[in-house]
Chains A and B, each alone.
Chain A
Amino acid sequence: MELLSNILNPWNLLAAFLTFAIFSFLYKDNPFYKFAEHLFVGVSLGYSTCIIIFNAFIPKVVNPIFTDFSHNWHLVIAVLLGMMYFFRFSSKYRWLIRFPMAIQIGFTAGISVTLRMDARLFKQLKFTVMPLDNIYTIIVIVGVISVLIYFLFTFKRKGILNPLAKLGTIFLMVGFGATFGNTVMARISLLIGRISFLLKDWLHILE
C-alpha cells in the first residue's frame, strides 16, 4: 500500500515523467523532450531570478541602501550603472552601455592577472621543479617542456624543436586519453544513479 502510494505520489510521478521525457531524446527529438526542455528553461529561469532577487539583490543592495545609506550610498551608483544597460533601446545613447560593460570587463581582466599568475602559474611551476634523481621525474620534466614547445606559436618547428613538439603531442594525447577513460567510468556511475532513482526511490523494485 505504501509502495503504491509512493509510485502514485503526484510529485514522484512528475519527476519520473520528466526523467523519461529527457531520456527520450536519445531516441530522437520528440514532443516529450520538447516539453521537458521548454519547461526546464522556463522553470530554471524563474528559479534563478527569484534567487537573485531574494538572496542577492535585496540583502546586498536594497537593504544596505535603506538601512545604512551613509555607508552604502555607492550602491546607488551601481544601480544607475545597471540601469544604463537599458540605453541599448536608445539609438542616440546606446554607446553609454559601454560604461557598465567596461567596469565588468576591467574587473575580470584585473582579477585574472594576479590570480592566474599566483594560483595557476606559480603553483604549477613549483610542482614541476623536481630533483632529477630518478627516471620518472626526468620523464615528467621532459614531458612538460615538450608540451610547452608544442604550444609555441612564432617559432618554426625545425631542428630539435620538431621532434620535441611531436613528443609533446604524444604526451598530450596520452594525457587526454587518461582523462577520457577516467571520465567514462565516472559518467557510467551517474547513469546508474538515475536508474536507481527510477527503480529504488520511485518503484521500490530494488532495495
Chain B
Amino acid sequence: MKKRIPLFIVFLVGMLMIIQFFIPHRLSVTFYTGFLNWFTAMVLFALIIGIGTLLNRHFKKIKRKDDDWGFSIVTITGFFGMLLIGIFGGIGEGTLFMKLFEFVLTPLQATMFALLAFFIASAAFRAFRARTFEASLLLIAALIVMLGRVPIGDKLTFGFASTLTEWIFRIPNMAAKRGIQMGIALGMIATSLKIIFGIERSWLGSDD
C-alpha cells in the first residue's frame, strides 16, 4: 500500500494531464491552472523544509566551530535579514528590499555570469589539449566560428571564415541539433510514460 497508492496517484495525475491537453473546454483550462495553484500552495511547505536543512547545516557548523564557521553567520544573517526586511518593509519599488536586490544580488549574479568568460578560456584550453579525433573536430569548428564572428578574423582569412561559419551553422550544426532534439524528445516521452505506467519506480526509492 505504501507504494501502490503513490503509483496510482502518479498514473491518475499523469493521465489527467495528458487528457486535458486534448480538451479545449474552459473546464479543462480551469483544471490546469487550478493544478498550478496547487503547486504554489505545496511548494511553500517544501521550501520551509529546504530552508530548515540549510540553516541546520550552518548552525551545526557554528556549534562545532568547523573551518569557516564564521561565514555560516553571513548566510544566516543574510537570509533572515532579507526575509525580515521583505516582510516588514515590503517588496515594492523603492523599498530597502529592492535596493538590496539591486546592489547586492544583481552585481553578484552579473559577476558570476561574467566569470564564464574566464572559464570558457580554460575550457577551450582543455579542449585544445585533447588528442582524440572527435575533440579535434570540435575545436576546429569552434576556431572557425570564433574567427568568423569577429571582423579581424574574417579579414585575416579573406572572408573565408565567415563564409565557412555560415555554412557550418546552416548545414552540420543544423543537422546535429535536429537529430539531438528529436532524440531528446523521444527520451523525455519515454521517461514520462515509464513513470506514468509505473515501469520506472526508482523515484520511490528502491524499485523492487
Residues on A lying within 8 angstroms of B by beta carbon are: 11-12, 14-16, 18-19, 22-23, 25-26, 34-47, 49-57, 60-61, 64, 74-75, 77-79, 81-83, 85-86, 88, 95, 98-118, 120-121, 124-125, 127-128, 136, 139-148, 150-151, 168-185, 187-188, 190-191, 193-194, 197
* CB-contact partner of B68 in A34, A150, A180, under 8 A: A34
Question: In whole angstroms, how far apart are the Cα atoms of A74 and B37 in the complex?
Answer: 10
Query: Assuming the A-B contacts A180-B138, A190-B116, are A38 and B75 also in contact, with contact meaning beta carbons closer than 8 angstroms in the complex?
Result: yes
**Chain B 29-70 residues near chain A, CB threshold 8 A:** 34-35, 37-47, 49, 51, 54, 68
Nearest chain A CB to B113 CB, angstrom units: 6
Residues on B lying within 8 angstroms of A by beta carbon are: 2-3, 5-7, 9-18, 21-22, 34-35, 37-47, 49, 51, 54, 68, 71-72, 74-83, 85-87, 91, 97, 99-108, 110-118, 120-121, 124, 127, 134-135, 137-146, 149-150, 165, 168-186, 188-189, 191-193, 195-196, 203-204
* CB-contact partner of B38 in A36, A81, A171, under 8 A: A81
Nearest chain B CB to A6 CB, angstrom units: 13
* CB-contact partner of B171 in A26, A52, A83, A140, under 8 A: A140
Q: Say what secondary structure dominates the interface of chain B.
A: helix
Whether B54 lies near A23 (C-beta < 8 A) is no
* CB-contact partner of A111 in B17, B54, B78, under 8 A: B17
Nearest chain A CB to B49 CB, angstrom units: 6
Nearest chain A CB to B53 CB, angstrom units: 11
Whether A60 lies near B74 (C-beta < 8 A) is no
Whether A125 lies near B182 (C-beta < 8 A) is yes
Q: Which residue of chain A lies nearest to B150 when distances are taken between CB atoms in the complex?
A: A185
Question: In whole angstroms, how far apart are the Cα atoms of A194 and B112 in the complex?
Answer: 10
Nearest chain A CB to B5 CB, angstrom units: 7
Interface centre among B7, B11, B68, B71 (most CB of A within 10 A): B71
Question: In whole angstroms, how far apart are the Cα atoms of A168 and B79 in the complex?
Answer: 49
Question: In whole angstroms, how far apart are the Cα atoms of A55 and B45 in the complex?
Answer: 16
* CB-contact partner of A194 in B103, B111, B188, under 8 A: B111
Q: Which residues of B contact A11 (CB under 8 A)?
A: 99, 102-103
Q: Say what secondary structure dominates the interface of chain A.
A: helix
Question: In whole angstroms, how far apart are the Cα atoms of A49 and B49 in the complex?
Answer: 12
Whether A171 lies near B146 (C-beta < 8 A) is no
Nearest chain B CB to A9 CB, angstrom units: 9
Whether A185 lies near B39 (C-beta < 8 A) is no
Whether A82 lies near B44 (C-beta < 8 A) is yes
Question: In whole angstroms, how far apart are the Cα atoms of A174 and B25 in the complex?
Answer: 46
Can you show 20 pairs from A to B with CB atoms below 8 A apart? A12-B103, A26-B115, A35-B71, A40-B105, A42-B82, A50-B87, A103-B42, A107-B39, A108-B192, A110-B192, A110-B196, A113-B18, A116-B188, A140-B174, A144-B178, A146-B175, A175-B173, A177-B137, A180-B127, A180-B145
